[in-house]
Structure 1
Amino acid sequence: MHKKIALLLTLTALALALAACGGNNDNNAEPSGSAGASSPAAETAASQEIVINATTWEFDKAEYAIPKDTPVKLTLNNTKGAHGIEIEGQDIEIRGNKSEVVTLPAGTYEIRCSIMCGTGHKQMVSKLVVS
């Protein structure tokens, strides 16, 4: 009897963990952070767009590169699951399928998933090289 209850609880916990990163592409997610955020006119002035595709516990690239001191449109595309990105050391956070125009000084920054998305959440890291 105890084995059946333990199995049921284990399966329930597994289902909940997997559902945390399951297909919630909410286009009405919270607005993104404010640093680097610009008016719609500034979005048209962005020199380029970088699309970051987020899937279950990973970004599509280990490293992204943008020019320093230049407005760049960062777009987060949740291809599988509900994710966000934050750029460490900067006040930049993008949640859901949103974009933000950012201008950063030269350096190497860490991009992390900002929404707890399950057991692989801590490994959801990439680099942003600004030069």
Structure 2
Amino acid sequence: MKKMLFLVTLLAMALTVAACGAAEENTSNAAVETSAADAKELKLIASNWVFDQEEYKVAVGEPIHFSIENAEGLHAFKIKDLGIEVDQSSPKQFTINEPGTYEIKCSIQCGSGHRDMISTLVVE
């Protein structure tokens, strides 16, 4: 009986963790994944609790090759409103079709300053 209770508890915990870590899917066309040969490079350089710039600017409709370099610590980033997630091993390319200001957040728990590791993407 104790083993069964333990297994049920373990299964419930695993399902909870899986649900919390589920990827959010971008259902709008604000950002579309592309593979254009002439994409503009946008590399974020991350150190502990900061990106190298407070603000990055790109043009509407221009293919952007997003990547991240970890100068210190282990980081990745997410632009939730555009459905963009990038880590060091998986750069991605998107064309952003809607102008606006979008929040860039570190998506790996990187220490005590993690929640303040925020930058901005301005699409004009």
Q: TM-score w.r.t. structure 2 length?
A: 0.70
Match of 1:129 in 2: 122
Query: Secondary structure at 1:44's aligned position in 2?
Result: coil
**Structure 1 residue 44, shift from structure 2 partner:** 1.7
Structure 2: how far apart are the matches of 1:51 and 1:89? 19
Q: Tell me whether 1:86 sits opposite 2:78 in the alignment.
A: yes
Q: Percent of aligned pairs with the same residue?
A: 36
Structure 2: how far apart are the matches of 1:68 and 1:61? 20
Structure 1: how far apart are the matches of 2:36 and 2:69? 17
2:95 corresponds to which of 94, 103, 111: 103
| Runs of 4+ off more than 4 Å | none
Question: Is the 1:78–1:97 Cα contact (8 Å) retained in structure 2?
Answer: no
Query: Secondary structure at 1:122's aligned position in 2?
Result: helix
Match of 1:70 in 2: 62
Q: Tell me whether 1:49 sits opposite 2:41 in the alignment.
A: yes
Which is richer in strand? Answer: 2
Q: TM-score w.r.t. structure 1 length?
A: 0.66
Q: Deviations over 1:30-50 (max 9, x none)?
A: xxx996433xxx24231x111
Q: Tell me whether 1:119 sits opposite 2:112 in the alignment.
A: yes
What amino acid sits opposite 1:68 in the alignment? Answer: V
**Structure 1 residue 70, shift from structure 2 partner:** 1.4
Question: Is the 1:68–1:103 Cα contact (8 Å) retained in structure 2?
Answer: yes
Q: Deviations over 1:62-109 (max 9, x none)?
A: 000000011111111111111110002121100125421111121100
Q: Say how many residue pairs are matched.
A: 95
Structure 1: how far apart are the matches of 2:75 and 2:32? 20
Question: Is the 2:67–2:87 Cα contact (8 Å) retained in structure 1?
Answer: no
